[in-house]
A and B are shown apart, each in its own frame.
Chain A
């Protein structure tokens, strides 16, 4: 279960011998056609401003005293290599600050790598932050159209799905044409989830998205996810709800301080992770990772 330094291939299928060619920024690249995502030696670092006041006034005041704005470099993801075949349902667990969300954003193309490379084969749909492009003054219908356009759909494509999304989100009659500011937080989350799963993606990336809504909606979300799984879509889920990972995923990975610590059968990974949460120290076989 512990990771070696090689690239990890998730799932049980045998590697394909058909190689797809494409053009990268830095020359030609190739990827086996059975892979949805290939992550090659990925590292992501960024700088954050740790000053309490992130204002121009504060920066000028500091500069006048000959001081610089206080910055901290965050190494969010460290040398991760991973192959995710089409049709995999991968769960990612890890404590806060483990690099899960940054990894998801880099797969979505939102956060480019510092070093390494990500190759994605397929249309991606994301739900990484609840409330996709939602303008509270606009109606749910308008917001769904905006969210769809932001995701790269055409207006006709998204308009044809609007009623289906409203139905899936369990919006009361007429609410689809009401301003989003009149929605409850549950309705807001349900619409966001409905938009992301309605895009018929090849690859669906969900970050804590299944926490939206009540128990009935969670059950409905699970059913929809299972449908997507049956259609052999590739799904990557980040969740602190470990039961979700065990129930939905066929592979899980555990991230810790930016590193890919372990991968394997979800039940076993969740069990190891829970032990770590209880005792606060890594299992002895993973300590040197």
Chain B
């Protein structure tokens, strides 16, 4: 390249039609400025949604039953847990058997929704290595994409739940489980509270997985114990006195207890459950967002 050519080019240099100025400055208190970050997060949401869609497509591309596994997997698990629980109890009665199955079913669907958000979100940064090394975008889009994907996998389980309960009521008409109840209007709020809490936790685990690669493996065992410690295979009313605090120190506990009350008993969640859900939503989002954004800079050198 000649210097003359360089001069000519410089003279006719193509500048952006409208100046597109980006400024990269040190982060204050290690975190990027929250408002521009949130704005860019919102502007790039299409990327997160498509990433979720493509990740789903890639996973089920070579499976003959395809996305049917999204429903079949938790359905089979619920049946297995139902059989285990009824064997431990010495058999199921005609009046409570279907209630127990319905409780385990909706509990497993909800718990697996939260678990998928947390465990897929935890791996989203380490799995997005080349994207992170090559493109600048708010990294929280990657765990968010995992949450979107988890929701896409979760929602088909709701009609499945209704189908099982409907068929069950034909065979066991005396079972008291609501099929249509005004209190179901609380369900979207409970699902949203569970998703937001799990998303906040996924931000924490995503960072931990960047620093310590065995975090995702550890999560596999932790979530199993978490399931047993949550009101999924047992009912919230089984806890009395100070033992009830176990429901509220579990980040997913209030939402899962509220799920039981709305879906199985057809009643409004208790005030304590509302407070618990709200507190865990705020706490996990504040902690998760701070922890994630304050470590985000390190991702490009640690993955």
Contact = CB atoms under 8 A, between A and B. Distances in A.
Nearest to A133: B131
Interface stretch (A138-146, A166-174, A214-222, A271-279): A138-146
B24 A33 contact: no
B13 A122 contact: no
A78 to B, nearest CB: 15
A34 B301 contact: no
A49 B302 contact: yes
Given A115-B26, A129-B134, A202-B16, A55 B301 contact: no
A13 B7 contact: yes
Contact of A137 (B19, B58, B214): B58
Interface stretch (B43-51, B73-81, B264-272): B43-51
Interface stretch (A92-100, A147-155, A255-263, A281-289): A147-155
A126 B50 contact: no
A155 B14 contact: no
B174 interface: no
B21 A123 contact: no
Nearest to A128: B134
Interface in A99-117: 105-117
B23 A25 contact: yes
Interface in A1-34: 11-13, 20, 22-26, 29, 31, 33-34
* Interface size, A (range): 35 or more
A58 to B, nearest CB: 8
Given A12-B6, A46-B298, A112-B297, A29 B23 contact: yes
B85 interface: no
A70 to B, nearest CB: 13
Contacts of B11: 13
Most buried by B among A24, A74, A179, A234: A24
Contacts of A86: 10, 13-15
Interface string B128-142: 111111111100000
A124 B135 CA distance: 10
Interface of A: 11-13, 20, 22-26, 29, 31, 33-34, 46-49, 54-59, 74, 85-89, 105-124, 126-135, 137-138, 142, 145-146, 149-152, 154-155, 179, 202, 229-234, 247-251, 265-266
Interface of B: 1-3, 5-7, 9-16, 19-28, 32-33, 36, 44, 46-47, 50-51, 54-55, 57-59, 61-62, 128-137, 208, 211-215, 218, 297-298, 300-302
